[in-house]
A and B are shown apart, each in its own frame.
Chain A
Amino acid sequence: MAAARRLEPHPDTPFRYGPRVDFTFEGKPLWGFAGEPLALALLAGGVKVFGRSAKYHRPRSPMCLHAHCSSCLMRVNGRPNVRTCDTPCSAGQSVERQTGWPGAGFDLLRSIDVVYPEELRHHELFTSSAALSRLASPFVRKMSGAGELPSGPPPMALPAEHTRARVVVIGAGAAGLSAARRLARAGEKAIVFEAEALPGGRLLDGATWIEDDGGGAGWQKWKSLADPAGLSGIELCCRMPVVALYPGRPPTVVAAGEERVRVVQPQRIILCNGAYDLLPLFVGNDVPGVMTVRALDRMALGHGVVPAEPVVLCGDSDEVLRLGALLAERGVELAGVVTRRREGPQLEALQEKKIPIVFDREPARARGGRWLHELELASHRKAEPDRLLDCGLCAAESPPAPAYELGHHAGCRVFFSSSGGYRIAADSSGRTSRDDIFAAGHCAGAADTAAAMAAGEQAAGACLESLAQAG
């Protein structure tokens, strides 16, 4: 049985795609909608194990669905290591798994996990004699590895466009869009680079809610924020992830799309490249079927691919509780919401819907072979589990890890805290330790989406000020 089923798309979803198309998965016919993430077409088509992990050959299945992790890699049209969550489904695609022997579905190398239940020190493996080491290394390389080589020659050099610009905004999420709109209002020109196919970031999450004048769902805010009418003079480049930010003066931004590369030397940069979602640490947190909260939001609310079996949600944020209520409205069965929250309108909404709520517990162990089937809960994860929930999917929340890397490489000061991870040091106006680089939103530690929007405005204001001073 498939782990997920399809619903009619939600009427408000920002994600639209084309007609039904056929593709093949390891020779078997499957179908999807043109343009939807391939990973979701695979999940809806009954694929559970997407690949095997490098060392212990544990089954892997999508975890983040935001092109950050490595759990949905497959070979697509003869090209290995393709993120299926970031690849649009298209007619005639040939999709295969690339790891495991004889295959990812049934993998005899899984025995490594059993033989080394505690620790496999790969540095010390087969190193007792030089001869043994020489014999073993080619074998070991084959057994881990990242798939076969591509079946055809790589594409020639992509066309590149070298330009200068006044301002580059990196990331078109809540912070980036707000910054861009502020710049547009002042008549400033800017290039905005976005990795995803749609701008919006967290505003694309169905469970986002912006608490301002009256409040509104993230999808409504997305409509007004991404409206081109408010972005005149702004060049928005989607599916163009920035892969490098070289620290010269002016700094050099490299954005690499599928078909072209942009190299821009701007006078000012506003970093708004968000944060990565993490899974909390508990035993079996890598079992297929355990994913981040935003992954489930994207899949179920955004794309209408909902879990076929009951779901457990773990976390304390408004988004987690709201996602629970929205999933229930869509007819998804919830095995439980595990939270330390005790009150609030979101919690009451769940109680009204008779959704079981488990207080003061957290995930201690996920169980399942090729897919999750139960979750053990404990008062804290090192304690003896005292609750068990049967489920077919678990979405668990952990504080996100800010995407500090581009700023760090460009020379901006970065600092660490256990609650917020590494993030770019920025003052309340988004000024970093470099006078030509500003940072706003989750990469600089914004607490939520509304804070990210406000920070984007502030940083754009400071950026305009500094441009005016420079003359």
Chain B
Amino acid sequence: MPKTIVCRCEDVTEEDLKRAFESGFRDLESLRRFTGFGTGFCQGKSCLCHAARFLASVKGGDDMVSDPPRTRPPLRPTPFSAFAGAAPEAESAREEKP
């Protein structure tokens, strides 16, 4: 079916953004929460910019676009084993093992 994909991870289309905006989701955060863009595997690397540009164009200016959603680590999918090893407690736990 003809679709213009904004977010490839979560299959959010340009139409979805328009409809969500018309339904009253008019800032980046609520638009994101409603449509789900930026919440998939890549965490917005290829869609956040498109969505922000969309908002700027419908609201009539770059200054109408808020700060980006709060950034939370990890920046890319990271196995728990990495964080398990990085925690300071992990060091002592390893040493205590018989």
- Chain A positions within 8 Å of B, measured between CB atoms, are 53-56, 58, 60, 63-64, 67-71, 73, 81, 113-114, 117-119, 122-123, 146, 154-160, 162, 195, 241-246, 254, 256, 260-261, 263, 276-279, 281-286, 365, 399, 401, 403-406, 408-409, 414, 416-418, 421-422
Contacts and interface: CB of A to CB of B under 8 A. Distances in A.
B82 A261 contact: yes
A261 B86 contact: yes
A46 to B, nearest CB: 23
A123 B30 CA distance: 14
A405 B34 CA distance: 22
Contacts of A245: 73
A185 to B, nearest CB: 30
Contacts of B91: 160, 162
B46 A278 contact: yes
Closest CB pairs A-B (n = 8)? A244-B73, A55-B11, A70-B41, A157-B84, A243-B74, A157-B85, A401-B49, A158-B85
Given A243-B73, A263-B86, A68 B46 contact: yes
Interface in B27-67: 34, 36, 40-42, 45-46, 48-50, 52-53, 56-57, 62, 65, 67
Interface size bracket, B side: 35 or more
A63 B8 contact: yes
5 contacts: A70-B9, A114-B1, A421-B52, A422-B48, A422-B52
A260 B81 CA distance: 10
Contacts of B52: 416, 418, 421-422
A278 B54 CA distance: 14
Given A55-B11, A263-B86, A422 B74 contact: no
Contacts of B85: 157-160, 260-261
B71 A56 contact: no
A282 B4 CA distance: 5
A245 B5 CA distance: 31
Given A68-B45, A157-B85, 9 more contacts: A118-B15, A119-B16, A154-B80, A195-B76, A244-B74, A278-B50, A281-B14, A399-B49, A414-B68
B11 A254 contact: no
Contacts of B4: 281-285
Nearest to A242: B75
B4 to A, nearest CB: 5
B98 interface: no
A84 to B, nearest CB: 13
Contacts of B72: 409
B88 interface: yes
B73 A119 contact: no
B92 interface: no
B42 A70 contact: yes
A56 B80 contact: no
Contact of A418 (B40, B56, B78, B86): B56
Contacts of B14: 281
Given A157-B94, A158-B82, A68 B68 contact: no
A53 B11 contact: yes
Contacts of B73: 243-246, 254, 409
A158 B84 contact: yes
A158 B49 contact: no
Nearest to A244: B73
B71 A405 contact: yes
A155 B82 CA distance: 9
A244 B83 CA distance: 10
Output the residue of B8, B14, B50, B94 with the most chain A CB within 10 A.
Answer: B8
Contacts of A246: 73
B24 interface: no
A54 B79 CA distance: 21
B86 A160 contact: yes
B76 to A, nearest CB: 6
A53 B16 CA distance: 16
A389 to B, nearest CB: 18
Nearest to A120: B11
A154 B81 CA distance: 8
A63 B49 CA distance: 17
Contacts of B78: 243, 256
